[in-house]
Every structure is written in structure tokens, then in C-alpha cells.
Amino acid sequence: MRKPSATPCLAFIVLLGCGADAPGGLGVEVGASPVPLDRLLVSVISPDDGAVLVRDQAMAARLPGRLAIEPSGRRQTVRVLVSGERAGARVAFGYTDLDVAPGVDRTARLVLEAPPPADTDADGLPDPADPRFDTAPVGTAFPPDGRCEQLVRRGFEPRPENAAANATEPPAGFSLPDWPAGNPLVNARIRPRIGGHFTGTTDEILQWAACRWGLDEDLVRAYALVLTGWRQTHSSSGSLGIFGINPQFAGGTQDWAGRSTPFNADYVIGWWRACYEGYWTWIEDPQPGSGYAPGDALGCLGMWWSGRWYDQTARDFIGRLEMARQERKWRDGSF
């Protein structure tokens, strides 16, 4: 937890409907029935990097309350999370995003809802509190169209030369031909979803692909960094774009692999999800006894690079990928 600034940076007010008959503590109106609370827990997260600035600070039942955070001497966006607790368990939850700056008070008004979402990623906070896109388990339902577009955090552009490709997407109704190998589910569940229908900065497109296919966003960022340095202008030995699609081996991509960053990302991270789901059973033909199995995110990223499951080329690539994820050079543009 950061030490609070001496200057009030964030004034925090929660507007709650109190149940007149709630037994003790505070009552939150959920429909027609109040949910009794013992106390409120407030956390603050930086959506830029997931850093927790304040975790579960208890608030008095009497509101409004005040919470000071340290905005690092600059304007920034923070996510304020509020949980209602009863008998040691979270029974209500709400959150809001705010811009804060040194010496500026802000007021947040939000409604708590019950029940709170589960903490499936075990970070100690309800999942909507997690500002990152994480790797979703095998078999997870994909977000509906339009959902990830709403969740992407608008941000910086370290590769202005990508601008034209970032704003280019295939036409409505575009579809890829069937993928000829692997589990038939790949052509029922994965291929038809690939369309590249999004525009934004390079980082926004990487977030969108991470959300859309359920891959940890920093793995997506590190993957693009190691492959091409986030350059959609990349062209080498027939491989095009930010993730290096070779249309010779990726049917139907020739018109868009180099022209459209969102298509390039949608295709490759969709390919990764097919691998992660266990659909790429063709690997047993060139590599019998490979050990390929669903649920291995890094193994699938390595296979896109080498074409094999954990051969030495894939292992070397995964090592570079892990280092890039730890360094996170995209945070300061030093790549």
C-alpha cells in the first residue's frame, strides 16, 4: 500500500439506500430487500498496470468517508472498488473509474450489487476489480460481440507507423475458409469468430485480442514484442504483420495479414486459442508422442513460432517470451 499523500487527492462518497429494518451496520438496497452489512471495504487499483494502491481499507458505517491516495505527482485513472462485508464475507460489490490528480478532490457515486462476482483468479478481489485480461480456462465461453470493445482501456501508441493498419479492418461478412486439419470444433467454434472488426491504438488492439480470446494481456504484449517489436509493418521471409502471419500457410489471410493490425491479432490469438483448447491434434503427425495437451498457454505460443510442441526452437522462444513479459518494456516505450 502506498503512503497517502498529505494533500487530499480523492474524496470518496458512497450513496447507499439503507434498509430501515436491517439488523445492525449498514443496509444496501438490492431490489426490495436490504442486505445488512457490517462494514465497507475500499480498494484502489491502477488500471494501467494492475498495481493495487489501496487494498481493502475498512470504512466506517457513517458516510461520507474520505480516502487519500498518492497519484504519483501526475494525473492518472484509478479504479475504486467497494465491497460490502457481513460476517467476514463479501456480500455486495461495486466499482467505478475516476481521473485523479494531485490536489484535486473527486467524488464517486456508485451502487453496490449483490451477490458479488467470484474471485476466480485468486487475486483477493472480485473479478471485475481486476483491470487486466487474464488467461481463461479451457472451455470458457467467449465474450459476446461488442463486450471487449467496451472493456478495452484507451491508451498510448508507441508505434505511430501502425496508424493506417490499426484503422483498417476487413469488410462486414468477411470469413476465412475452413481450417483443414485438427479437431472439427476448430471450424465450428474458432474460425468463424475471426474477423478483425476493431480499430484503435496498437496497445488497444492487443488488449482487444487478449479479451476476445482469453489470453493474458501481458503475454499478448510480450508475444508481439518478441515476434516483431509491435510493428504491423513487419515483413520477413513471407511473414507479415505484428504477429508474423505467412499467407502461404494461412489460407484466406493474404489480403489482410499485412494491411490490418486487428485482423492479424484476431487471427493469431484465435489460432492460439484453438491450440489451447486442444484442437490442434495434427501435431501428432509430424511429431508422434509430442505430449501436446490442452491448457498450456506457453506451449501454444511456442508452437506458433516453431511449428512443433516444445522442441528446442519452441523452448528458446518461450524463454525470450517470459523475459519480455517480466521486463514489460512497453510500459515506458523502451522497445
Q: Which spans in 68-155 are helix H? A: 147-151
Note whether 26 and 109 are same-domain residues: yes
Q: Are residues 116 and 181 in the same domain?
A: no
Write the single-letter amino acid at 35. V
Q: What is the pLDDT of residue 100?
A: 76
Contact 99, 91 (CB under 8 A): no
Cell numbers of 33, please? 430487500
- Rounded to 5 degrees, φ, ψ at 145 are -55, 135
Asked if residue 142 is part of any domain, the answer here is: no
Domain annotation covers residue 4: no
98 vs 76, 123, 176, 325, CA distance in Å? 8, 22, 41, 28
Residue burial 224-236, b: 16+ Cβ < 10 Å; e: rest: bbbbbebbbebee
2 inside domain: no
Same domain, 151 and 124: no
Number of domains in the chain: 2
Q: Are residues 209 and 86 in the same domain?
A: no
SS3 category, 331: helix
Q: Where are the alpha helices (DSSP H) in the chain?
A: 147-151, 163-166, 185, 202-213, 217-228, 261-276, 297-306, 312-327
Query: In tens digits, what is the pLDDT along the chain, a chain of 335 residues?
Result: 233 333 344 565 555 544 444 445 667 766 666 777 888 888 888 766 667 888 888 876 555 566 666 666 667 778 888 888 888 888 888 888 777 777 777 777 777 888 888 776 667 888 777 777 889 999 999 998 888 998 888 777 999 999 999 999 999 999 999 998 899 999 999 999 999 999 999 999 999 999 999 999 999 999 999 999 999 999 999 999 999 999 999 999 999 999 999 999 999 999 999 999 999 999 999 999 999 999 999 999 999 999 999 999 999 999 999 999 988 898 777 78
By residue range, what is the domain housing residue 276? 147-331
Question: Under the phi-then-psi rule, with left for phi > 0, alpha for psi from -120 to 50, and beta for the rest, what region is 273?
Answer: alpha
User: Which grid coordinates belong to 160?
Assistant: 505511430
**What is the total residue count of the chain?**
335
Number of alpha carbons in the 13 Å side-chain half-sphere of residue 60: 6
Q: Check whether residue 17 and residue 165 sit in a common domain.
A: no
Q: Is residue 18 located within the same domain as residue 167? A: no
| Residue 138 included in any domain | no
- Side chain identity at residue 256, one-letter code: W
**96 shares its domain with 184:** no
Measure the CA–CA gap between 102 and 76, rounded to whole angstroms: 10
Amino acid code (one letter) for 55: R
DSSP label at residue 301: H
